[in-house]
Amino acid sequence: MAKAASSKTESHGLADAFPEERIVELYRTEVLARVMDERCLTLQRQGRIGFYVPLAGQEAAQVGSGYALDPSDWIFPAYRELGLALVRGVPVKSLIDQFVGNSADLTKGRQMPNHYAFREQRFVSASSPIGTQITQAVGAAMAAKKRKDPIVTITFFGDGATSSNDFHAGLNFAGVFAAPTIFFCQNNGWAISLPREKQTLSRTLAEKADAYGLPGVVVDGNDVRAVYRAVREARARALAGDGPTLIEAQVYRFGPHSTSDDPSRYRAEEAVRKAREHDPVVLLQSELIRTGILTKDSDAKIWEELKAEVARAIEAAEKTPAMEPLSFFDDVFAQPTPALEEQKASFEQLVREGVLRP
């Protein structure tokens, strides 16, 4: 059966201690994720970006796991991993550029908003199909293993993805071939509108690892230290050649599944209110103030600074010119076909005549 994170750490003995000297840094990253999340949700409601996937309630799970990784490790996200991108050092403006889809967007406006990718930070493109990143992460881990690269891959997914074909195929293959992969499930209770209890009768999602010969770990996703230790242990285990680990971080999704969703249609507000009593950002904030690491004034300053940083990034992104309209003919073929060239010329003529506008 699934084991607690603490017992796993004791059994393997390779996990690093939590870096207490960086606790304020981790807290700042959680706050930045929360501030960005709130602003991006507002931007979508105002029609300034087309789509957004909120992460409120999952900050500790993402920040704790992100800090436990090495910069050389590859991240295969779902579409809610804004906190991980921030941990990796992705600039706030680069994220906003992608949401807006301007000419500074590294994906050139080709992706949906909130489907970003950053090669320099080893952050693979998000995609909407459920669970596809799981098998991709295993394949990349096997390639690294063959090259003898001392890295791991980690893939993030929700509770709904544990019912996908890619979840089962990924775990089975990784188990058989001891792929250096970490499977990180953010169990936020809902697969869009489907509650976890209507998806599986398994006592935990982590115990699904038993069927594939892997260790399964259940961790409090609101506890940044517990998440960090679980991921460090899983990473050490993978690098030692002992194969993958499935981690289930139990969290709660405060907001909608996406900006296309209305959670009031399927869940009670009382349940959300009760879950907010365990808000990971507030829990860490209260601890830091209670222990004297921060004061109320210094904490308020952190929030003010990060709100200002996000506001500046939004302003800069919205002032950045739009993508050149003809650019969407690029990157289709290595050598443009005659038909594509004809279409491009026709489109260019329509732009010159003002029939189509950038």
Say which of 253, 312, 352, 357 is annotated catalytic.
253
253 included as an active-site residue: yes
Say which of 34, 39, 196, 257 is annotated catalytic.
257
Bridge partners of 185? 157, 248
Say which of 22, 45, 203, 266 is annotated catalytic.
266
- List Cα–Cα distances, 47 to 51, 55, 207, 280, in angstroms: 9, 19, 42, 29
Tell me the torsion sign for CA atoms 164, 170, 171, 173.
positive
257 included as an active-site residue: yes
Structure tokens at 104: 């500074």
Q: Which residue has the tokens 């199909």?
A: 129
Q: Report whether 329 contacts 343 (CB < 8 A).
A: yes
| Structure-derived torsion over alpha carbons of residues 276, 182, 247, 156, reported in degrees to the nearest 10 | 30
Bridge partners of 245? 182
266 included as an active-site residue: yes
Q: Report whether 231 contacts 9 (CB < 8 A).
A: no
Catalytic residue numbers read: 253, 257, 266
